[in-house]
């Protein structure tokens, strides 16, 4: 199959790498080829972290600009920084909860308004699903489940190549047993949110 290109962006500590591992293992459980490449910034200090993933026939995980089928953005500003990766057929799943850069006070450029970020993304994508994943995760039981809220939303995106049940099985294989109930609830909340917005 032609590769389905996923660009994941955010900052350190948001569970981006764990999310990519779960998706990668779900692809393997589905007998689909998958290649993953990670870029770590100052992840221990909330620096930029991104992952590129191709599900399908491909030898390199690197995604050309404008070729991402899906942008999964764990933070609004990081979504904006990754805008060059999407096109008019792309879907964007974005967490609206900002994490302000530690050097923001020294910058001449203030953090952009959320409405500005959304306007720019919507002008470049087929559909933007924007949600307060942090808030949904807290309601599910723990803010650390934010990444599973995001993963649940992704599972509801049209033409996403991984089946929901296989993703859930991969979650159970890769998360601490005591955290599974909260993470499953977070996933379902994200799935429902995205489904209702399509």
Q: Tell me: domain 4-197, CATH 3.40.920.10, correct?
A: yes
- Give percent above pLDDT 70 in the chain: 93
The domain limits of the chain are 4-197
In the predicted model, what is the mean pLDDT of residues 57-78?
Answer: 94
pLDDT of residue 46: 61
Q: Judge contact between 24 and 30, C-beta under 8 A.
A: no
Residues in the chain: 198
Determine how many CB atoms are found less than 10 A away from the CB of residue 98: 15
Q: How far is CA 94 from CA 98, 128, 191, in A?
A: 11, 7, 13
Higher pLDDT, 15 or 89: 89
Average pLDDT, the chain: 92
pLDDT of residue 56: 94
pLDDT of residue 45: 53
Pairing of strands 127-131, 34-40: unpaired
What pLDDT, in 10s, does the model give residues 124-174? 999 999 999 999 999 999 999 999 999 999 999 999 999 999 999 999 999
The C-alpha atoms of residue 41 and residue 154 are separated, in whole angstroms, by 24
Please give the order of strands across the beta sheet that includes 127-131.
34-40, 48-55, 4-11, 70-73, 91-95, 127-131
The whole-model pTM stands at: 0.93
pLDDT of residue 49: 85
């Amino acid at each position: 199959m032609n590769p389905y290109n996923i660009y994941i962006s955010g900052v350190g500590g948001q569970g981006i790498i764990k999310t990519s591992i779960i998706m990668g293992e779900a692809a393997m459980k589905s007998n689909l080829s998958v290649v993953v490449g990670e870029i770590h910034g100052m992840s221990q200090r909330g620096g930029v972290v991104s992952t590129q993933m191709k599900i399908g026939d491909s030898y390199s995980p690197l995604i050309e600009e404008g070729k991402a089928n899906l942008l999964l953005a764990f933070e609004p500003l990081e979504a904006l920084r990754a805008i060059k990766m999407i096109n008019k057929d792309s879907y964007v799943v974005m967490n609206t909860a900002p994490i302000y850069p530690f050097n923001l006070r020294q910058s001449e450029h203030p953090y952009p308004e959320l409405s500005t970020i959304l306007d720019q993304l919507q002008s470049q994508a087929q559909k933007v699903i924007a949600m307060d994943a942090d808030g949904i995760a807290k309601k599910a039981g723990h803010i650390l489940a934010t990444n599973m809220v995001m993963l649940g939303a992704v599972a509801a995106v049209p033409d996403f190549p991984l089946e929901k049940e296989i993703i859930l099985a991969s979650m159970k294989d890769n998360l601490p047993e005591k955290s599974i109930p909260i993470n499953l609830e977070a996933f379902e909340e994200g799935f429902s949110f995205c489904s209702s917005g399509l």
